[in-house]
Structure 1
């Protein structure tokens, strides 16, 4: 039996597009998808013909967050986000649908993130008994801390305009490809050395956060995911019911 490849790739004039293509679980970050994306990114970083990488998706969801049925080891997700941040090529997120939980970590790790105005976003971790621990590594140095507090503590859904305002997105527009066209043209005109060294300058604070906090936050993620509250929250989510703690709401 042939197993579907969760990440596909194509190339156009120096830009490699990696497409999350796991529609059965709404591109949730399963162990398999995380491993496949990490491998694809590593190959892009080693290929001198790749000027930049676009990370996008099939279907109506960029990523539904961690796959609750086949979650990746926390250290694998940490390594994937670090890979994006440290890749010697710019990585651009292209979003046309929903982004939840760990999917926002992918956006935060990318150098540029653009979305259609129809996209929406939510940090849903608190609603299943965990916290955006590992995904906070690329987000805290880049996003508005007050906005992060609001959205991470409530798990509310917000739109692309709010995501731009808070620093989770770079650009938004009715047609995301129209928005991205001049960005990709600019990257094609830049020298590989210039891009790599400029990215190193721009990601210094994010890389410092990984060096300082990655080990502790990876351990926190593992502890939370194995906790009784997380088991109740994830079971409730999979069973399409409210977790027990909402009885006081």
Structure 2
């Protein structure tokens, strides 16, 4: 039996490829566990600078595996809660991964597949990509992935797509903020490579901390408390070895040491 997740490393880039193409890379417990484990291991690997998440075959991910859903429909409420928590751990692990992440969306993404796209920091798709939060057709809702999808597309858009279960194309995904770019299929790898190159030119800790800054800035807080927290953050970065190297390199008109030698 093929591994549900393929892991490829090329220098500072780790590629995680969903590998159930015959089932449109739909989730089952094995794939959820494999992807969660790979992400957790990556969080502690200082040599990795960027994670690219992609799908094998024509689809990015169709969300939940129908056979898995059939089995869970016959399970108890407690069993369903535990099952949903495993998916919730995956989404949170991806969303909070202390590394920049890129979703390479070459084809359709539905349900939990949309959640994966929303959890990534950068999402690039092709015109062949289609999207749908179709749970309401089954009497369900995209509850587990909702925090990440709402953060990506906003509450106004989420109300529509959650309720109607409509599918939408890559252009609409771009308009609502789920995708950052739409490129022809034969330009997808180049577009991903461009983003990887930009991320690898950024200071490693600064790039990793960017998502923390954005997330905390969106939390309700006293303005004075937030100002002090942000001032403390920039102060720590300025005096850190990475900050000192970056400022020094700029003033000395040289490349910082974290850039690979050309």
| Aligned position for 1:16 | 14
Pairwise CA distance, 1:104: 0.6
- Per-residue deviation, residues 145-191 of structure 1 (Å, max 9, x unmatched): 33222222221121111001111111111122232222110111122
Pairwise CA distance, 1:206: 7.6
Q: What residue ranges of structure 1 are gaps of 5+ in the alignment?
A: 209-249
Aligned partners of 1:85 and 1:206 also within 8 Å: no
| Aligned position for 2:226 | none
| Aligned position for 1:68 | 66
Give the alignment partner of residue 107 of structure 2, picking from 69, 94, 97. Answer: 97
| C-alpha distance in structure 1 between counterparts of 2:7 and 2:15, whole Å | 5
Give the alignment partner of residue 204 of structure 1, picking from 205, 216, 241. Answer: 216
| C-alpha distance in structure 2 between counterparts of 1:204 and 1:7, whole Å | 31
| Aligned position for 2:158 | 148
Pairwise CA distance, 1:139: 1.5
Question: Could you say what the CA RMSD is over the residues aligned between the two structures, in angstroms?
Answer: 1.8
Choose 1 or 2 for highest CA Rg.
2
| C-alpha distance in structure 2 between counterparts of 1:176 and 1:25, whole Å | 23
Q: How many correspondences in the alignment?
A: 206
| Aligned position for 2:200 | 188
Q: Does 1:108 align with 2:118?
A: yes
| C-alpha distance in structure 1 between counterparts of 2:5 and 2:118, whole Å | 19
Pairwise CA distance, 1:68: 2.8
Instruction: Point out the more displaced range, 65-74 or 156-165.
Output: 65-74
1:28-47 superposed matches below 5 A: 28-47=26-45
Q: Does 1:159 align with 2:169?
A: yes
Structure 1 residues 76 and 207: alpha-carbon distance in aligned structure 2, compared to 1, 3 A threshold? farther
| C-alpha distance in structure 2 between counterparts of 1:28 and 1:205, whole Å | 34
Aligned partners of 1:172 and 1:179 also within 8 Å: no
| C-alpha distance in structure 1 between counterparts of 2:215 and 2:34, whole Å | 24
| C-alpha distance in structure 1 between counterparts of 2:219 and 2:135, whole Å | 24
| C-alpha distance in structure 2 between counterparts of 1:143 and 1:45, whole Å | 26
| Aligned position for 2:75 | none
SS class of match (1:163):
helix
Aligned partners of 2:102 and 2:192 also within 8 Å: no
Higher RCO by CA contacts (8 Å cutoff, separation 6 or greater): 1
Pairwise CA distance, 1:103: 0.7
Give the alignment partner of residue 4 of structure 1, picking from 2, 5, 8. Answer: 2
- Per-residue deviation, residues 209-244 of structure 1 (Å, max 9, x unmatched): xxxxxxxxxxxxxxxxxxxxxxxxxxxxxxxxxxxx
Q: Scaled by the length of structure 2, what TM-score is found?
A: 0.74
Pairwise CA distance, 1:77: 0.7
Pairwise CA distance, 1:207: 8.4
Q: Scaled by the length of structure 1, what TM-score is found?
A: 0.78
Pairwise CA distance, 1:12: 2.1
Structure 1 residues 92 and 207: alpha-carbon distance in aligned structure 2, compared to 1, 3 A threshold? farther
| C-alpha distance in structure 2 between counterparts of 1:184 and 1:53, whole Å | 9
